[in-house]
Structure 1
Amino acid sequence: MAVTETARSGAGRAVRPMRRPARPWNPNKRRKSKSLTLIMTLGLIYSLLPLFWLLVNASKTENNLFSTDGLWFGGHFALLDNIRQTLTYNNGQFVQWFGNTLLYVVAGAGGATVLATLGGYGLAKFDFPGKRGVLAVVLGAVAVPSTALAVPTFLMFSKIGLVNTPWAIIIPSLINPFGLYLMWIFARDAVPTELLEAARVDGAREWRVFFSITLRLLRPGMITVLLFAVVATWNNYFLPLVMLDQPKWYPLTVGLDQWDAQSQTAGGSPIFNLVLTGSLLMILPIMVVFLVMQRYWQSGLTAGSVKQ
């Protein structure tokens, strides 16, 4: 509301608004804003430059890759032709690797999300003997890098005959300590205990409480865990490299690396243009997933960060 003043004499005098005092000009604040804008701009350029470089060079032929500027288009625009060659090279090997990657993501990342949701909800809302020990093990597992477990996992799987099978990639992908920890923290704050107790008093069983009430409240956290698991499984390289030696089970990461190494083998022909095009096609699904799930991901990261 505007602050007004009236004249001391004269009932019919006009009412005029009082001017608010002008805020003092702060040059330090303006300088700080410009600095933050410059830093964010440089960070954006740093993030988009590799993607731009990949797009530019995926549109070149094998001969133009080394005869033109790497940061700009040159020669014949061959992106569509490179895509066609990538999808059909060596009897459609790229398509097969793409299908393998989808299998590992759906089974591994999807299963890891389900297990993390069930485990995180149980740790957050149920008391049982040894709960503190389980939490300590989960926190300790988060600190262990997955690459350190690749060789022991290979030795164990080789004893039971799972090497060179999809199970050698899917089963280790189901274990996601960080996702379990994230769902535990999220479920602890996002699911009110009073709501669960009210449902139990009304006669609802635990599975009905979980699927009818809890699952809806945990959706943002599940989306967040799913995105992390999808990216980790999609970009998984070292585990498939250790577990698989048959190209028919390769994911895209290992398959494209084999194409890249083809130029260094005796009698191998370089296909760097196909490697770059395949890399571009490989990152497109991840970009689409992030753009579609962005609002769920942001709400999942911020939920529980403010104490009610």
Structure 2
Amino acid sequence: MTTTLRPPSDATPNPNPASDPAVDIAPAKHRGNTVGVGSSRTSTIIVTGILVVVAIYFLVPIYYVVIAATKTTEDLFATNGFLLAPTFNLWENLRLVFTYDGGIFVRWFMNSVLYAGVGALLATYFAAAGGYALAKYEFRGKNIVYGTVLGGVLVPGTATALPLFLLFSQMGISNTYWSVLIPSLVSPFGLFLCRIYAQASVDNSVIESGRIDGAGELRIFHTLGLRAMTPALVTVFLFQLVGIWNNFFLPLIMLADSKLYPITLGLNNWRSQVDRLPEFYQLTTGGVLVSIIPLIVAMIVLQRYWRGGLTDGAVKG
């Protein structure tokens, strides 16, 4: 008699279920996902906590300035620094700030707008032009120029203030607007950033197309290069604006006429008189509050371009 061997049916139960790998696969994956989700949640909590601490660190001084600007000199020392005083004196403090000494604060404010606004705008343009040239043109000494610029990033501004003062004194332009404005036109970091961004965002084929259409190099730079580099330009502009607006040491070295002071030097002049005239506390705190408003407005208005530029640069890189 012939015996026919048949393959075991799929319905045949496994005599040893523990040895079946399919039994443990689903639970193992489930356990792995659970561990991953828990680890991700822990990392999110830690990062969020760090960001909250950093935000508090930066926002507490601003909060203190706002509260201090609402107090009289007596309340400034008699009440808690982080709590409002019974007398809300903000508008009176601001009136004193803008009217004291014939409105000298308004002059200081406009000087800062001139130094920071014009200086940051021109410095951004020069950085864009230099970075574009270093990224898109080949010429002898290119690497030497770029290395020199990188070296300039490492030199602090305080180290060059005194040599600049001696140079400007010999040229006869110390104690003038030019003595503060000219050094503000140079941004080694801005040129470095614009070179990197131009290399990544300005396509060579676009430049060649412009040349084929008969456009000159300056027109290509202004119509195509600057448009592609806009996010990087906003970043450089913000860095320069904040740096020049908060600059203190260079105007201190260069300027002797109080009418040429920027807002930082003017507020320091008021602060130095608080021992003799305590009411200068109100002028100083009110002036500090006014001085940070332009920077806050600039950051709020330009942050979307800045954020978009950083993201765009990361994708293209």
Match for 1:221 among 226, 229, 232?
A: 232
Bigger drift between 99-108 and 238-247 goes to 99-108
Q: CA deviation at 1:45?
A: 1.4
Q: CA deviation at 1:49?
A: 0.7
Structure 2 counterpart of 1:298, which letter? R
Hey, what's the Cα distance between the residues in 1 that align with 2:80 and 2:277? 26
Q: Does structure 1 residue 150 correspond to structure 2 residue 127?
A: no
More helix, by proportion = 2
Bigger drift between 274-283 and 194-203 goes to 194-203
Q: Who is 2:241 aligned against?
A: 230
Hey, what's the Cα distance between the residues in 1 that align with 2:40 and 2:313? 31
Match for 2:213 among 178, 202, 209?
A: 202
Q: How does 1:173-212 map to 2 (within 5 A)?
A: 173-212=184-223
Q: CA RMSD in A?
A: 1.8
SS at structure 1 position matched to 2:299: helix
* 1:121-151 Cα deviation digits (max 9, x unpaired): 1111011111010001000000101111001
Match for 1:161 among 163, 172, 175?
A: 172
Q: Which runs of 5+ in 2 are unaligned?
A: 1-25
Task: Give the structure-2-normalised TM-score.
Answer: 0.87
Q: How does 1:121-132 map to 2 (within 5 A)?
A: 121-132=132-143
Structure 1 counterpart of 2:217, which letter? E
Q: Who is 1:111 aligned against?
A: 122
Hey, what's the Cα distance between the residues in 2 that align with 1:225 and 1:188? 16
Structure 1 counterpart of 2:151, which letter? G
How many pairs align? 288
Bigger drift between 36-45 and 20-29 goes to 20-29
Bigger drift between 198-207 and 112-121 goes to 198-207
Q: Percent identity?
A: 43
Hey, what's the Cα distance between the residues in 2 that align with 1:110 and 1:222? 9
Q: CA deviation at 1:307?
A: 4.8
SS at structure 1 position matched to 2:96: helix
Task: Give the structure-1-normalised TM-score.
Answer: 0.89
Match for 1:88 among 86, 99, 106?
A: 99
Hey, what's the Cα distance between the residues in 2 that align with 1:74 and 1:268? 21
Match for 1:66 among 77, 86, 93?
A: 77
SS at structure 1 position matched to 2:314: coil
Task: Give the conservation status (yes or no) of the 8 Å contact 2:108–2:262.
Answer: yes
* 1:167-205 Cα deviation digits (max 9, x unpaired): 000000011101111111111111000110111122221
Hey, what's the Cα distance between the residues in 1 that align with 2:278 and 2:70? 19
Structure 2 counterpart of 1:35, which letter? I
Q: Who is 1:5 aligned against?
A: none
Bigger drift between 185-194 and 202-211 goes to 202-211
Q: Which runs of 5+ in 1 are unaligned?
A: 1-18
Task: Give the conservation status (yes or no) of the 8 Å contact 1:85–1:274.
Answer: yes
Hey, what's the Cα distance between the residues in 1 that align with 2:226 and 2:99? 43
Structure 2 counterpart of 1:283, which letter? I
Q: Who is 1:8 aligned against?
A: none
Q: Does structure 1 residue 301 correspond to structure 2 residue 302?
A: no
* 1:9-53 Cα deviation digits (max 9, x unpaired): xxxxxxxxxx99857433443333222222222222111111111
Hey, what's the Cα distance between the residues in 2 that align with 1:214 and 1:194? 12
